[in-house]
Amino acid sequence: MLKSLFIFGVLGVLLIPAKCDLISVCVEDDNDLRVDCLIEPKPNKINSYEFSWSSGTKESLINTNVSGSSAEGQFKEKSYVEELEPHGYRMTLAEFTDKLPHNTTYMCKISGEVASVNVEREQLVPCSAVSMFLMSTCSWIVCLLLFSYQMHS
Ligand SMILES: *[C@@H]1O[C@H](CO)[C@@H](O)[C@H](O)[C@H]1NC(C)=O
Ligand SMILES: *[C@@H]1O[C@H](CO)[C@@H](O)[C@H](O)[C@H]1NC(C)=O
C-alpha cells in the first residue's frame, strides 16, 4: 500500500509539469509555428479562442473566433486553428518563423481564460523534439514501474 502510494507520488511529480503547461510553442518540420492551447473551456461560457503575441508594448492578434474582433491583416490566411482532443486548440502560423520578434510573449485565451508563455526566438524548439521528450519521459516511467514491481515482489 505504502509502496504504491510512493509510486503514484513519483508519477504525479513527473507528470504534473507536463500537464500544467496550458500553452506550448514549437516549430514544425516545415517551419510553421505551432501554438497549442490546452485551457479547459468553462461549460457555462461561450466557447471561443484567441491567439496573440506581444513583443515590447506591441500586441498582435493572430487568430480568433471571438465575435466582433478580428486578426491583424498580415496574419490572415497564414494561420489556421484546429480543435485538440480532449479540449483545447492548436494554432498553426506559416511564413513567420524567421520574422518573429526576438523576445515574444505568446498568449491564448479560451472562454475568457488566458495562458501565456515568454519564448525567445533562439529558444524555440522543434515540435518533433517535444514529442520525443514526452515519449522518453513515459518510457522512463514504465521502466521505473517495472523496476519497483520487481524489487518488491
Ligand atoms: C469558435 O470555434 C469553436 C470550434 O470550432 C466553436 O465551438 C465555437 O462555438 C466558436 N465560437 C464562436 C464565438 O464562434
Ligand atoms: C523578455 O520579455 C519579458 C516580458 O516582457 C521580460 O520579462 C524578459 O526579461 C525579457 N527577456 C529578455 C532577454 O529581454
The residue ranges of every structural domain in the chain are 17-137
Please give the pLDDT value at position 53. Answer: 96
The CA distance from 130 to 37, in Å, is 15
Q: What is the mean pLDDT of residues 89-107?
A: 91
By the 8 A CB rule, do 92 and 28 touch?
A: yes
Q: What is the pLDDT of residues 100-151, one digit of tens each?
A: 888 999 999 998 899 999 999 999 999 998 766 555 555 555 555 656 666 6
**Rounded to two decimals, what is the model's pTM?**
0.75
Superfamily of domain 17-137: Immunoglobulins (2.60.40.10)
Best residue for ligand 2 mutational test, from 103, 120, 124 (most atoms within 8 Å of Cβ): 103
Name residues contacting ligand 2 (CB within 6 A): 103, 105, 118, 120
d(CA 31, CA 28): 5
Q: Do 73 and 61 meet the contact criterion of CB atoms below 8 Å apart?
A: no
